[in-house]
Amino acid sequence: MSRIVFDDEYVIVVPTFKEVVPHKHSFLHIFFLGDSRKCEEIFVTGSDMRHTMPSIDVCKAFLMIDPTSDLADCLCEKHLSGGEPVHVRLSSPLLLPEDDTEGSLLSAIHDCLTANAFQSEKKEQADPEDYRVVKLIREIREYRHLESRIDEIAREFDLSESRLSHVFKESVGISLKGYLTIARLKYAYKLVMEGKSKTHAALEAGFSSPAHLAFICKKQMGISISEVLK
């Protein structure tokens, strides 16, 4: 079974599946490429860039990156300005830990990102509506609002549905609907990894049914949730 580890800004996947159909979604990706446990190159894709996973022979791990994160900002600024996926040689390679514990894997990824300066300065936001977007993103990252309609969220933030959708898109670069889909997928994976059934995970994450979760997973990730967890 593939290993999936959750961090605030990204999800780490150590894949066991071999084939992913070409697809696109709002996540950004860093695919760590190498042999054995040492990765000296990465393949970076941005939001809505059509791609597939590199061969499992060379792809030892990858990140599904929150498009609202500082890491995503850094990747866009430094490597994705041309609008196409890119290969980047790492100045400091990723060394995957031999003990394979969750903490060791998180530390190895964090150390690699830090050593290769994958960080971006946070931008000050003066508009009160922008602060509402920041608050909403924080709450969605905490898995709130996953079962809510956008008009219900808008009322909670004292904005019209159209205004909230516009401000969110302007601030973040993706639609609120798309961002909620990312959060729902992440939460569904998290629940399944904790031992919950796919039916329970689908409904708790805001999908209408397990079939709906399966459809969105295949569409967004290019592979079924069953294949990821096989």
pLDDT digits (tens, 9 = 90+) for 16-71: 988 899 998 999 999 999 988 899 999 999 999 999 999 999 999 999 999 999 99
CB 206 within 8 A of CB 192: no
pLDDT digits (tens, 9 = 90+) for 139-168: 999 999 999 999 999 999 999 999 999 999
Residue in the block written with tokens 């393949």: 43
The pTM assigned to this predicted structure is 0.87
Residues 89, 166 share a domain = no
Residues 145, 179 share a domain = yes
Higher pLDDT, 32 or 228: 32
Residues 138, 196 share a domain = yes
Residues 134, 69 share a domain = no
Q: Shortest CA distance to 7 belongs to which of 163, 186, 135?
A: 186
The total domain count for the chain is 2
Please identify, among 80, 115, 150, the residue that sits at the C-terminal boundary of a domain: 115
Domain assignment present for residue 122? The answer is no
Residues 132, 111 share a domain = no
Residues 142, 38 share a domain = no
Domain with 12, as residue range(s), is 3-115
Residue type, 54: P
Domain assignment present for residue 132? The answer is yes
Beta-bridge partner residues of 28: 65
Residues 79, 28 share a domain = yes
pLDDT digits (tens, 9 = 90+) for 93-122: 999 998 878 999 999 999 999 999 997 555
Please identify, among 54, 88, 115, the residue that sits at the C-terminal boundary of a domain: 115
CB 113 within 8 A of CB 74: no
Residues 145, 108 share a domain = no
Chain-centre distance of CA 227, in angstroms? 18
Strands 3-6 and 28-35: unpaired
Q: Shortest CA distance to 29 belongs to which of 72, 74, 60, 59?
A: 72
Residues 61, 84 share a domain = yes
Please identify, among 82, 115, 148, the residue that sits at the C-terminal boundary of a domain: 115
Residues 222, 145 share a domain = yes
